[in-house]
Structure 1
Amino acid sequence: MQWLAMITMLIDHLGYAFFSDERYMRIIGRIAFPIYCYLLVVGYRHTRNVNKYLIRLMVIALLSQFPFMFAFNITNLNVVFTLLIGLLLMILLDRIPSRLFPISILLAAAFSLLAEVLHTDYGAYGILLILIYRYMPGYMMVLAHFALTLIFILTGHMSLIQVYSIFSTLLITASTELRPDVRFAAPPRWLWRAFYPAHLAVIAIIVQGSIHGYF
């Protein structure tokens, strides 16, 4: 699943930066972000040291920011900041007793608003999707993801193309519910952690080189 996330993200970013007329590349790219959100939840569930997990995400987010800005000529915060906010939220929610459920709702709303105010990639949509993967069982994830996406599309906060992201949750659910015993080969840890900033850096060099006439 990690390989699929990296490959589809790369296709999406290449389409955004160099092939804006090739809509199919952006459609394929919708697969990536939900998988990253799901893997964040899995990583949080199994990590032995959540503080190191937080620091690792922060480092990746900071290393990726300038390549992200120069690759796509935007000033938003990159998507790893969204994942970082989502991780912080999960940690805090796990420390709130179940009897204080209203506080959990307010906290989730506050962190979603924070993502919007900071203009992180995917913003509140990303935070809420992380919570869906954290708390929704089985095929309820698919329905919740579909409802969330539909709301953001109808309110004008997302493009219609985002509906294709539902296929990610279908894939996740099928792999965990139908074949939970199947394990796919994961990429080396160094590659998984370095891929996001590294591929953005390469795209940024090419884009900026083209703008300034170096290529």
Structure 2
Amino acid sequence: MIAPASHWTDWAKWLALLTMTLDHLARFILTPSGHDAAFWLMATLGRLAFPLFAGMIAWHALFDTTRPLRYMARLLFLALLAQVPFMLLIDTGGIIRLNVCTTLTLGLMVGWAGKQLVTPDLTLRARTLAIALGFIGLTLGYALDAHIEYGLDGGLLIPALMGAYALLTQGRRLEGLLMSLPVLWLTMRLNEAPLSTASAVLATLALLGIAARAGHGVPRLARGARLPPWLWRSFYPAHLWLLFGLVLSLEALT
């Protein structure tokens, strides 16, 4: 069996950040009236972003990270940094909303717990920690379903992808195909508009196709073209703060 390769994520990071930025420009800067074509194109392309983020986190949690708790803590820290501009930018309708990094953190907790629990010869301490984290992740996801971006379905996409990845990269195609069905079902529940749903499903199918080849077959991105780690990790909160500043500037001019 060929060891899974992670270099495809170098391409996915650029695509995820680009499509997320287009989506947020459409949501926070443009309005459908007067910008119909640009708005719908940017918003539709933006639906690629969440499956890509979830897919990369699931892949790294399964094959790369040696410090999953640190990974969760970093995601939670980014959620805290981004929460203020997120709440200032969106129309909450009077409901407290938590940004997407919260959703990803809860999904990672459940996914990592599942990975640990199927690991042979797990120590009692590790098993207890996995059960506790999984229970907390599921409980919070259920309780905060209406308050986090993409809801509980978005969080569950990460453990579902981890299960599909594990089977597909091992060459267990039939089982991997069966596990891909809940992945696609969850993806389809993330959006209401048909074009947005199709965009998200397309991204998820690409992730599953990459997993079927264990991450191989994707050309390597030149080292100089890869996102620096500091930019990748800080982009989400930083771009929300910049967008909030832009919104204030535009309001001052009108």
TM-score computed with the length of structure 2 as normaliser: 0.70
Are 1:111 and 1:127, in contact at CA under 8 Å, matched by a contact in 2? no
Q: Distance in 2 between matches of 1:73 and 1:208?
A: 15
Q: Mapping of 1:1-80 within 5 angstroms?
A: 1-21=12-32, 22-45=39-62, 46-74=64-92, 75-80=96-101
Cα RMSD (Å) of the superposition? Answer: 2.8
Alignment partners' CA distance in 2, 1:202 and 1:57: 20
Q: Which amino acid aligns with 2:44?
A: I
Q: Report what 1:147 is aligned to.
A: 185
Aligned residue for 1:110?
A: 139
Is the counterpart of residue 168 in structure 1 residue 203 in structure 2? yes
Shift of 1:84: 0.7
Q: Distance in 2 between matches of 1:79 and 1:149?
A: 15
What amino acid does structure 1 have at the position aligned with 2:78? Answer: I
Larger Rg: 2
Q: Give the whole-Å Cα distance in 2 for the aligned partners of 1:94 and 1:17.
A: 38
Give the drift of 1:92: 2.6
Q: Distance in 2 between matches of 1:17 and 1:69?
A: 12
Matches of 1:159 and 1:148, distance apart in 2: 15
Aligned to 1:193: 233
CA distance in 2, matches of 1:194, 1:115: 25
Write out per-residue CA displacement over residues 108-146 of structure 1, whole angstroms, 9 at most, x where no aligned residue. Answer: 7535413405x1111112112112211124473654333
Residues in 2 aligned to 1:111 and 1:55: alpha-carbon distance in whole angstroms: 16
What whole-Å deviation, never above 9, does each CA across 1:37-58 have from its counterpart, x for those lacking one? 0111122221121222122111
Unaligned 5+ runs, structure 2: 1-11, 33-38, 120-130, 169-175
CA deviations 1:57-108 (Å, max 9, x no partner) are 111110011111122243410000001111111233334468xxxx99x957
- Which letter maps to 2:61? Y
The runs of 5 or more residues in structure 1 that have no matched partner are none
Task: Judge conservation of contact 2:47–2:199 (CA < 8 Å) in 1.
Answer: yes
Is the 1:9–1:32 contact (alpha carbons within 8 Å) kept by the matching residues of 2? Answer: yes
Identity %: 30
Instruction: Report whether the alignment pairs 1:88 with 2:109.
Output: yes
Alpha-carbon separation, structure 2, partners of 1:188 and 1:36: 17
TM-score normalized with structure 1 length: 0.81
The 8 Å contact of residues 187 and 204 in structure 2, kept in 1 or not, is answered as no
- Name the SS of the counterpart of 2:98 in structure 1: coil
Q: Tell me which amino acid in the other structure corresponds to 2:51.
A: P
Q: Cα 1:149–1:170, aligned 2, differ >3 Å: closer, same or farther? A: closer
Post-superposition offset of 1:189: 0.3
On the 8 A contact 1:37/1:130 being kept in 2, the answer is yes
Q: Distance in 1 between matches of 2:118 and 2:233?
A: 33
- Cross-structure match for 1:131: 159
Does the aligned pair in 1 maintain the 2:26–2:43 contact within 8 Å?
yes
Amino acid at match of 2:249: G
